[in-house]
Structure 1
Amino acid sequence: MPQSQANAHADTAIAAGDDIDHREGNPRPRAMTSTATTTAEIDSTISHPGSVRINVKGAFIVDGTEQPSTPANGYTNGSYHEGKDIRLPNHTAVVSHIAVDIGGSLAKLVYFSREAHSTEPGGRLNFHSFETDHIDDCIEFMRHLKDNQLALNGSKPNDLCIMATGGGAFKYHDKIKKALGVDVLSEDEMTCLIIGLDFFITEIPREVFTYSETQPMQFVEPEADIYPYMLVNIGSGVSILKVSGPRKYQRVGGTSLGGGTLWGLLSLLTPAESFDDMLDMAAQGDNAKVDMLVGDIYGTDYNKIGLKSTAIASSFGKVFRMKREAENEAEDNGNGVSDDHQHGEPIHDPQNSTPASQPRTRADAPSRFSASDISRSLLYAISNNIGQIAYLHSHIHGLSHIYFGGSFIRGHPQTMNTLSYAIRFWSKGQTQAYFLRHEGYLGAVGAFLKRQPRNWGRRGSFEGDGAALEDRLRKRSEAGQGVDDASAV
């Protein structure tokens, strides 16, 4: 290894909290970087990435669609680059692992890279996703990362380790290990979700925000004590977790009506070929053409119980009546089918004694419902249901902070507004919904962090069982009440 490269790898990043204490006038001196490192120590760090310290000082989200300038840039083959990489300008040590969260619908991947053509130090966390049905493309992308490990972050291909979570971490464990020839460490899904969320809440600026139509994106800073809170993770299905401390959680509920439900039904009802297509159609649709609204029943608002005329009284409530009207109109115009066939009896092909593959029914009457209107109606139906279930659980457990995560949201305005409105409405403004810019990557980031047992974050906040983070937040709270902050370590 060239001496300059060895020096770069030997640089041990300080914990960001040390620098903060120094900057804020705390008498405790900042930690010093290592000035002499042996070749054996360098090799040990590369071979055992768990000893690497990640420096989050100055971390920020790279806004826009800027692509990472790395050997992985330009690789498409089914991958989707999120365009919200997290820049770590002060990290210099080698990271020789990547993390993947494989769910029922999507596989989410996180990896660290240097910026190949940049003269600045540090690197970034990159975020990619694949449809789980195309898991082979995801594995091929990981092979691409393995082949480019030296250029990406200084490690050798044989040093790569895969941290995997989600159901697919077990389902595809042997497939990934055989294809890549690397160690695959499977991590508990719920634990990874909480570790990832805690990291985003406490370590990354401008990550957490609230949403409403009048104030679309208001970033928030963590309170002195972030616990307890509720995580509603919306993937193919929905899991609801009560989090009482670092890595202290309980699954208190959930529902099978989640992103997979929306994806599945819209695959049957619309020509959409991807989840993003469905969200794009929903953004253009008018649910009032499909849903029965309060105004359709009362002709006005129902003020006595606080319902506006635009509130949904029945999702898809107009479909049966309007569909029947359309069929009757078609029959009146001479376009209907015969009585023998109008109730769904199969039409027989005269050249074949077996029924035709597609029976002709009254459903063949011209449709009055566009794919966009259907998409928006179903998105509202699923989101409203999740929002109400989330509120009920928060009420039962006395929680006023609800974080929504999972790939169902995708930063989609209608989804966030529906969830946020439901929480405000049912709680009468006493409970707040929070969203994240990396909502779909909580588990993947949590798995990534599991490979960093020492000094990841400020004051080793993700070390061991989370006691360091809990202690840090407790002392921050005490400092806010007049306790001398010099004791906060």
Structure 2
Amino acid sequence: MDENPTKTNQSAHLALDIGGTLIKMVYLSSDDNCSPDSQVKVSQEESNEISDGLMKCHTGKGTLHFLKFETSKIDDCLEFISSNQLCSHGDLPDKKQPSAHDRKLIKATGGGAFKFADLFMERLGITLDKVDEMDCLVAGANSLLKANNQEAFTYMNGHKEYLQIDHNDMYPYLLVNIGSGVSMIKVEGDEKFERVSGTSVGGGTFWGLGKLLTNCKSFDELLKLSHVGNNRVIDMLVGDIYGGLDYSKIGLSSTTIASSFGKAISENKELEDYKPEDMARSLLRMISNNIGQISYLNALRFGLKRIFFGGFFIRGHEFTMDTISVAVDFWSKGEAKAMFLRHEGFLGALGAYTSYQKEGSGESMSHQLVEQLSNGVQCTGENQRLLPAEIKSQGK
């Protein structure tokens, strides 16, 4: 394999974040090739797999697309790249090895950039130019916080409030990225950061245990199921222990969870006796509570006042955000607030996208991204939390 960039066509319009659960993609297409009203070429089956990850931002320089795929179905991602001609040489005949002239270099981050490097070369003639995962997460978060004045917001008790971030007083902060697992990063500047903690109990835990406990086939299905569940059927509350009373001496209300899934040990019931939606709700609350608590304790450890949460675990889900917010508020005694990001799941992919500027590939990609997100560009998609301007639904 020839890794020499001088012999490779570099694509400054496509970047990937290949995680253990999801592949996140950001790419820029020219408006010469697609009108502002055109749709990305996606089959009905692919649309179902991409779910709410299909989004576009139209700018004067082109169209910025945000997509996600399940990593377990990486063939869908490869087919999308090929069918949309994101490879400059187009489709290669089956089993044909691309020549050095055919090869294309794209930025990629996440563990999958290493795991699937050979697959991208064999199938598409693409060389994955690997960018450090933590570098990309921080670069993506910093760029977004500087570019978009409606990027960060709080959510608690059903109330969403956007925050104006002072760019001159943005650092330091704690970035909590919730993917399959959780990384907690102390950010002190554009390229000054340290991963200070993390936990293996994250999105992969929710999906994995949820799959075992319910018949759900996807993360989104499990999340939707949790929305109609009642965790109090399974969780042991303080009131269950104290006869319906608060434990006011130490500030615990009767509705505080004393033990997640705790009622299951005191009831003569089998797994099939519990409703899947109640188990999903309890599981989501257990994981969200713990992430919120661990995040605040790390912020306290380093004297950090700001905590930003990102990653596709959240997905703009109100119950998830509210649970994290309540945990941070409880443990900080109201002194700290959880803050969420509209582009939460694309931090790594966006960071990889902006990293092209370090290779001298034309106009600064970081500047281009800031320009795109700051100018009130027309955006289309399904999920408002991921885009900076007005969003219109795409039919499927």
TM range (shorter): 0.7 to 0.9
Q: Which amino acid aligns with 2:225?
A: M
The residue aligned with 2:81 is 142
Which residue matches 2:36? 118
Q: How does 1:166-245 map to 2 (within 5 A)?
A: 166-215=110-159, 217-223=160-166, 224-245=168-189
CA offset digits 1:231-274 (Å, max 9, x no partner): 11111111111111111111111111111111111111001000
What residue in structure 1 maps to residue 261 of structure 2?
Answer: 316
The answer to whether structure 1 residue 400 and structure 2 residue 345 are counterparts is no
Aligned partners of 2:348, 2:60: CA distance in 1, in Å? Answer: 27
Partner of 2:170, secondary structure, is: coil
Q: Is 1:378 matched with 2:283? A: yes
Among 390, 395, 400, the residue aligned to 2:295:
390
Report whether the alignment pairs 1:129 with 2:68.
yes
> Is the 8 Å Cα contact of residues 117 and 127 (structure 2) preserved in structure 1?
no
CA distance, structure 2, for counterparts of residue 413 and residue 118 of structure 1: 32
TM-score (norm 1): 0.62
Q: What is the alpha-carbon distance in structure 2 between the residues aligned to residue 459 and residue 126 of structure 1? A: 14
RMSD between aligned residues: 2.6
Structure 2 residue 204 is the aligned partner of structure 1 residue 260: yes
For each residue in 1:343-385, what CA deviation from the matched residue of structure 2 results, as whole angstroms up to 9, or x when unmatched?
xxxxxxxxxxxxxxxxxxxx48xx3311000000011111111
Q: Which amino acid aligns with 1:141?
A: F
DSSP-derived class of the 1:111 partner? strand
Deviation at 1:214, TM superposition (A): 4.2
Q: Which residue of 1 aligns with 2:13?
A: 97
Letter of the 2:23 partner, please give it: A
Q: Quote the sequence identity (%).
A: 48
Q: Give the conservation status (yes or no) of the 8 Å contact 1:210–1:434.
A: yes
SS in structure 2 at match of 1:110 = strand
Q: CA deviation at 1:108?
A: 0.7
Using CA pairs under 8 Å that are at least 6 residues apart, name the structure with larger relative contact order, 1 or 2: 2
Deviation per CA, 1:180-213: give whole Å up to 9, x if none. 1133211100000000000111102322111111
In 2, are the aligned partners of 1:194 and 1:446 still within 8 Å (CA)? yes
Post-superposition shift, 1:448?
Answer: 0.6
* DSSP-derived class of the 2:16 partner: strand
Task: Give the Cα separation in 1 of the matches to 2:69 and 2:105.
Answer: 20
Q: How many residues align?
A: 325
- Whether 1:437 aligns to 2:342 is yes
Q: Matches of residues 280-359 of structure 1 in structure 2 within 5 Å? A: 280-298=224-242, 299-322=244-267, 324=268, 326=269
Q: Output the CA distance in 2 between the equivalents of 1:432 and 1:459.
A: 31
Residue 144 of structure 1, CA deviation = 2.3
Distance 1:263 1:209, change over 3 A: same
Distance 1:138-1:456 versus aligned 2 partners, 3 A rule? closer
Aligned to 1:200, the other structure's residue is in SS state helix
Structure-2 separation of matches of 1:101 and 1:131:
12
Give the structure with higher Rg (CA).
1
User: Offset at 1:149?
Assistant: 6.4
SS in 1 for 2:227: helix
Deviation at 1:148, TM superposition (A): 7.8
SS of residue matched to 2:266: helix
The answer to whether the 8 Å contact 1:203/1:457 transfers is no
Q: 1:295 to 1:435 in 2, by over 3 A?
A: same
The aligned amino acid for 2:231 is N
Given that 1:101 and 1:443 are in contact with CA atoms closer than 8 Å, whether structure 2 keeps it comes out as yes
Q: The residue matched to 1:440 in structure 2 has which SS?
A: helix
Q: Specify the SS of the correspondent of 1:399.
A: coil
1:97–1:160 contact (8 Å) kept in structure 2: no
The runs of 5 or more residues in structure 1 that have no matched partner are 1-46, 50-94, 152-156, 327-362, 463-489
Aligned to 1:81: none
Is the aligned partner of 1:275 residue 2:275? no
SS at match of 1:375: helix
Counterpart of 1:411 in structure 2: which amino acid? G
Please tell me whether residue 413 in structure 1 is matched to residue 318 in structure 2: yes
Cα gap change, 1:222/1:369 in structure 2, threshold over 3 Å: closer, same or farther?
Answer: same
| Secondary structure, counterpart of 2:346 in structure 1 | helix
Q: Mean Cα displacement is larger for which, 191-200 or 294-303?
A: 294-303
Q: Distance in 1 between matches of 2:18 and 2:104?
A: 18
Larger strand percent: 2
Q: State the AA in 2 paired with 1:110.
A: V
Aligned residue identity for 1:146 = Q
Letter in 1 for 2:195: R
Mark the CA change 1:185 to 1:441 in structure 2 (over 3 Å): closer, same or farther.
same
Could you say if the C-alpha distance between residues 164 and 458 of structure 1 is closer, same or farther in structure 2, counting changes exceeding 3 Å? closer
What is aligned with 2:52? none
Question: Are the aligned partners of 2:12 and 2:106 in contact in 1 as well (CA < 8 Å)?
Answer: no
**Partners of 2:36 and 2:368 in 1: how far apart?**
29
Q: CA deviation at 1:461?
A: 8.5
